[in-house]
Amino acid sequence: MHPKPLSDPPAVDHPKAAIDGSSLDLGDYLKDRAGLVERHLSACLDAAKAPVGRLQEAMRYSLMAGGKRLRPILALAACEAVGGEIESVLGYACALEMIHTYSLIHDDLPCMDDDDLRRGRPTNHKVFGEAIATLAGDGLLTDAFALIARSAKQAGVPAELIVDTIAELAEACGSSGMVGGQAIDLLTEGQRLSQSELELLHGMKTGALFVAAVCGGARLGGAGPAQLRALHNYGSALGLAFQVTDDLLDVVQTTDHLGKRSQKDQERGKATYPSILGVEEARLRAQQLAQQAREALTSFDSRADPLRMLAQFAVERSL
């Protein structure tokens, strides 16, 4: 790792946790950043015109239900890793969480994974009904694009960068990315997948949004092409590491710990890393991927230390 202190810290007012390789505490850092994201998310919801109370309530219910806020934190960390201003990327970071939340609401619907529990609370459709839950997802997804465009423009980010960021994010989340991955997941239930098929599926379903988080955050922060290529590699290894770990957690943890139903992958005959590789091999694969993510960052200075630590966090959380 990179233990020397920052010679040139980025200009950031909000975070309390110092970004300093020598003293960075991951727990404090994550808590601080999640707090920053949640305050901004809540302000965005309040600022929305919100003409339909029940719909806004449903959107807020799932958006403000906690969670690690990992995607927004990655966007902020990537922006800072390239020396960008956090203000340029705060709206984008919140938009990522809105999109992630929409995908959870729709995935939980009875016609999809039919889940009753998410983050320790009843799922959106259990509280608001299927129709409003579907619309809350649609609203979060759509509002996210307005937020990115408005907030990045207001922060003075060059319009060309905003257009490219929106295009890449939409591709990451659309039919050839996250939505496509969820479709494969549903269509292959009960089928035996090879490791490479599983990695393709998760590259679309989970990985693409991680890559968009990291690359979009860096682009809005002014990254150059070589930095973007490196961060693409980082994001895609990290996304997979995260997913392998998710599969492991589903096997080894109880529903109480997870805040969502555990062991459900197996019940549904879903292919998972532990089912293909075995638990020990899957653990090793997760570590390998986290290492690969860190190695993608060799050309970055200590401002990328949060990204380095996040790679470790992705595979070590609660295992």
> Which residues contribute to the site for a copy of itself (CB under 8 A)?
48-52, 54-56, 59, 106, 109, 111-112, 129-132, 134-135, 137-146, 149-150, 152-153, 158-160, 162-164, 166-167, 170-171, 173-177, 179-180, 182-184, 186-187, 200, 204
User: Cα 211–28–233 angle (5° rounding)?
Assistant: 15
Beta bridge partners of 117: 122
CA of 276: how far to CAs of 143, 187, 248, 280, 309, in Å? 38, 18, 12, 11, 28
Residue (6 or 179) nearer to a copy of itself, CB: 179
Residue (17 or 211) nearer to a copy of itself, CB: 211
And the tokens for 35? 């707090």
Residue (157 or 258) nearer to a copy of itself, CB: 157
3-state secondary structure of 222: coil
Annotate 287-304 with three-state secondary structure. Answer: HHHHHHHHHCCCCCCHHH
Minimum Å gap between C-beta 139 and a copy of itself is 4
Residue (54 or 229) nearer to a copy of itself, CB: 54
Minimum Å gap between C-beta 189 and a copy of itself is 10
Residue (63 or 75) nearer to a copy of itself, CB: 63
Minimum Å gap between C-beta 151 and a copy of itself is 10
Residue (43 or 111) nearer to a copy of itself, CB: 111
Minimum Å gap between C-beta 290 and a copy of itself is 26
Neighbours of 132 (CB within 10 A): 20
CA of 305: how far to CAs of 82, 85, 183, 239, 308, in Å? 11, 16, 35, 18, 5
Minimum Å gap between C-beta 273 and a copy of itself is 21
Minimum Å gap between C-beta 98 and a copy of itself is 10
Helices (H), 221-278: 225-252, 255-258, 264-267, 273-277
Minimum Å gap between C-beta 199 and a copy of itself is 13
State the Cα–Cα distance between residues 31 and 245, nearest whole angstrom. 21
Query: DSSP secondary-structure letter at 110?
Result: T
Residue (137 or 274) nearer to a copy of itself, CB: 137
Residue (139 or 221) nearer to a copy of itself, CB: 139
Beta bridge partners of 121: 118
Minimum Å gap between C-beta 270 and a copy of itself is 14
- Spacing of C-alpha 107 from chain mean position: 15
DSSP for 245-256, written as a single string:
HHHHHHHHS-HH
Minimum Å gap between C-beta 174 and a copy of itself is 4
And the tokens for 276? 């293909």
Residue (54 or 257) nearer to a copy of itself, CB: 54
CA of 266: how far to CAs of 132, 203, 247, in Å? 30, 20, 10
